Structure 1
């Protein structure tokens, strides 16, 4: 839903994915968390730049 409203490369989508990955990670669901973390990093890097604090 977030991607539909904001688009695939919006920083808020990266935050959402990061939070979901954190939840999965805390539950021990590491194989589900990793791709979400990687996608969040990719979106944040593209949207905010490599040196931005949220990246």
Structure 2
């Protein structure tokens, strides 16, 4: 009884771990994009898609 419960808990834990990893990946991607956008803005004074409008 407790053995099967442990297996179920393990499965749930693994699923949560996978979800957390996935979320961290997506979040870091978003954060990186935001950071890059901020860098572009500081460096060029415009976002990447507006850069060519400056000249």
**Higher share in helix:** 2
Bigger radius of gyration: 2
User: What TM-score does the superposition give when structure 1 sets the normalisation length?
Assistant: 0.39
Which of the pair has the greater relative contact order for Cα pairs under 8 Å at 6+ separation? 1
User: What TM-score does the superposition give when structure 2 sets the normalisation length?
Assistant: 0.39
